[in-house]
Structure 1
Amino acid sequence: MKQALLIVNLGSPDSYAVADVRRYLGEFLMDERVVDFSKWFRTFLVKGIILNTRPPKSAEAYKGIWWEEGSPLMVLSERLKEQVQAHSDMPVGLGMRYGNPSIHSAIQKLKEAHPDLETLHLIPLYPHYAMSSYETVVVKAREVVEAHFPDLELLVKGPFYDDERYLNILANSIKAALPEDYDYLLFSYHGVPERQIRHSDVSKAHCLRLDNCCAKDSPAQAFCYRHQTLATTEMVARQLDLKAGTYSTSFQSRLGPIKWLDPYTDKTIAELAQKGVKKLAVVCPAFVSDCLETIEEIGVEAREIFMENGGEDFTLIPCLNDQSDWAKLLADFGTELYAKKIETTA
């Protein structure tokens, strides 16, 4: 077998033990594309402050969502890999940007099983481009291949936030989980600092620099997380025939005093309840696998905020997880990467 498909997700601690959580957070937060300060300040902030205070609290949060089989993200990612393999003629591997199995070990496993491997099809499991998610996976994979597998060709799947097939699958999964009598649907995406949006702007003159920038065509939008998330919301809303005023977009998981993309999910949920929304549904399209940020941050914390402010019914829409149609699309992405290469080089 000369081709293989590698899907890469975020990652998870090996366990909810404080030491494992500290190790995981250290790798995650020391990534210069996640905490994009100078190395000396990032080291001071992460190793001098965060890793001395945050791991016990995070460990408790992980413990609260941990399944008998392990971390939900890891269990669901493994199930997804098996589903993708069932739809693919090429071997499928699974790697994590942080923690285990690493991207390096995943590629090594594929190479050992298939010594004649020549081409690796990489699919970061992120629909939208952000330097702290999609970009860091691609950069890390390229570094690993260049350093350890120089004879291996790497083909990379781009963000698929506007792929019609993906949108159909996402819309159908939302529709299947929506209560018939819900009042409002909130699309909650993982937040990023505004400075990262400006940093990714290839034009250096568009993103968050122009009024209503996301609605104005620009080469910057190919790398703009904010534009791509808003576009996903609107395209799915059209497929679901949602009426204006019954849905919106917000951003969760902000950290620290700096400006992050807004509106913020926690504040939005409180405001919706205060304005009379009684039955709220929330979907998190930035994540393809349920994890701490969906199960605990939205399913527990956001639910409490909604109820405390007058809400009555709260529904968390599951991520795509290991749905068969989603797995088949990933397998198709891998096949299309090679077909596009052949077309380009013919």
Structure 2
Amino acid sequence: MSLEQPTALILLNMGGPDSLETIEPFLYNLFSDRELIQLPMGALLQKPFAKLISHFRSKKVRESYKYIGGRSPLLAWTRKQAVGIAERLGGHIQPFVLMRYWQPRAAEVMTQLKKAGIRQAIVLSMYPHYTGATTGSSINDFEQHAEKLYPELSYQVIDQWYDWPGYVTALASRVEEGLDNFHELMRDDVRILFSAHALPQKFIDRGDPYQQQVETTARLVMERVGNYRWSIAYQSRSGPVKWMTPGTDLELIRLGAEDVKSLLMVPISFVSDHIETLEEIDLQYRMLAEQHGIAHFFRAPSLNDHPDFLEGMAGLVRERCQI
């Protein structure tokens, strides 16, 4: 790939509602994606089921978004990440963001690229750990729209980076920052709980490497952090399907039963703050931990636009794209 001509850096992410009024259509887009959620009775009824589920679920989700200010911060953080990575790459790199389930979506981004006369792109998934449910769906969405709307676009895809040293080092630094919240006299007794987004177990059973990659990332981080007891759990489990285990809620209860008093939670499959960190961890899991005797509960800061993370991601692009 030659950087003598304008090059787009396109970050792929899930997206989130930008107002309380857009929660329901966002959920409809999400539940309509059979690569992510296969609702019963086949593809023909996927969208009617999605319409029904998104309507009723939006009422509950609305309260969660009210708690964090009425909108998802995911787009703002992803834009900052795109700009920060592009600046570190220099040259003719121009940042773009493409969201899977809310704006800006693939058709809009293709129009922007054509209008700007950009004919080559680096496509970077912001999911560190690969599963067809998230990474695969986002890449398929990009490729289908590129083929249909902008077949002249030449691009290279970076689809997973769970063991990239720049990412692991940045995450380890956030863990160390989180540990600084504990008094030095209790720091040796702090338990660390990595919390990744859960998937239905069927994705793991079919061969997706997601769980293995999450475990590898956690191990590599702890090799840098030092001698603490730690475990992994999976959050955001909902609906009547078999999910990956252990669930984060059940792991918190288990740790409380072990008389753990000091706990640092580390969001591992999220590279920026959004509803799962700001409301699910910071509110729901904090309350659950306190109810089960975990008196000192903190969350490690998210990666967001920390300079070490952005530099690490720029290094990833340089190596994978040989620029």
TM-score, normalising length from structure 2? 0.90
Question: Residue 190 of structure 1: which of 197, 203, 212 is its match?
Answer: 197
1:137-216 paired onto structure 2 within 5 Å: 137-178=138-179, 179-180=181-182, 181-182=186-187, 183-199=190-206, 201=207
Point out where structure 1 has 5 or more consecutive residues left out of the alignment. Answer: 202-222, 341-346
Question: Residue 42 of structure 1: which of 18, 21, 46 is its match?
Answer: 46
The answer as to whether partners of 1:8 and 1:103 remain within 8 angstroms in 2 is no
Match of 1:259 in 2: 242
What is the percent sequence identity of the aligned residues?
28
> What is the number of residues matched between the two proteins?
309
Match of 1:102 in 2: 105
Residue by residue over 1:113-172, the C-alpha shift from the partner in whole angstroms, topping out at 9 and shown as x without a partner, is: 3x1x22110001010001221111111110111010101012100310011221111111
Cα deviation for residue 239 of structure 1 reads 1.3
Match of 2:69 in 1: 66
CA distance in 1, matches of 2:314, 2:234: 30
CA distance in 2, matches of 1:137, 1:95: 9
Question: Residue 315 of structure 1: which of 298, 302, 305 is its match?
Answer: 298
The answer as to whether partners of 1:155 and 1:337 remain within 8 angstroms in 2 is no
CA distance in 1, matches of 2:66, 2:258: 34
Cα deviation for residue 74 of structure 1 reads 2.1
Matched letter for residue 23 of structure 2: V
Matched letter for residue 259 of structure 1: K
1:285-296 paired onto structure 2 within 5 Å: 285-296=268-279
Match of 1:238 in 2: 223
Structure 1: 4+ residue segments shifted above 6 A: none
> SS at 1:54's partner residue?
helix
Cα deviation for residue 275 of structure 1 reads 1.6
> SS at 1:91's partner residue?
strand
Matched letter for residue 267 of structure 1: L
Residue by residue over 1:164-206, the C-alpha shift from the partner in whole angstroms, topping out at 9 and shown as x without a partner, is: 221111111211222343421100000001111123x2xxxxx
TM-score, normalising length from structure 1? 0.85
CA distance in 2, matches of 1:41, 1:239: 48
Assess, with a 3 A threshold, how the Cα gap between structure 1 residues 272 and 51 changes in structure 2: closer, same or farther. Answer: same
> SS at 2:192's partner residue?
strand
The answer as to whether partners of 1:284 and 1:319 remain within 8 angstroms in 2 is yes
Matched letter for residue 205 of structure 2: R
1:83-122 paired onto structure 2 within 5 Å: 83-89=84-90, 90-113=93-116, 115=117, 117-122=118-123
Q: Which one is further off, 295-304 or 328-337? A: 328-337
Assess, with a 3 A threshold, how the Cα gap between structure 1 residues 331 and 107 changes in structure 2: closer, same or farther. Answer: farther
Match of 2:129 in 1: 128
> SS at 2:100's partner residue?
strand
CA distance in 2, matches of 1:314, 1:108: 46
CA distance in 1, matches of 2:63, 2:155: 39
Cα deviation for residue 44 of structure 1 reads 4.6
CA distance in 2, matches of 1:25, 1:328: 33
Cα deviation for residue 310 of structure 1 reads 1.2
Residue by residue over 1:269-326, the C-alpha shift from the partner in whole angstroms, topping out at 9 and shown as x without a partner, is: 1121122111111011101011001111111000010011112111011210111121
> SS at 2:322's partner residue?
helix
CA distance in 2, matches of 1:318, 1:112: 38
Matched letter for residue 228 of structure 1: Q
Cα deviation for residue 64 of structure 1 reads 0.8
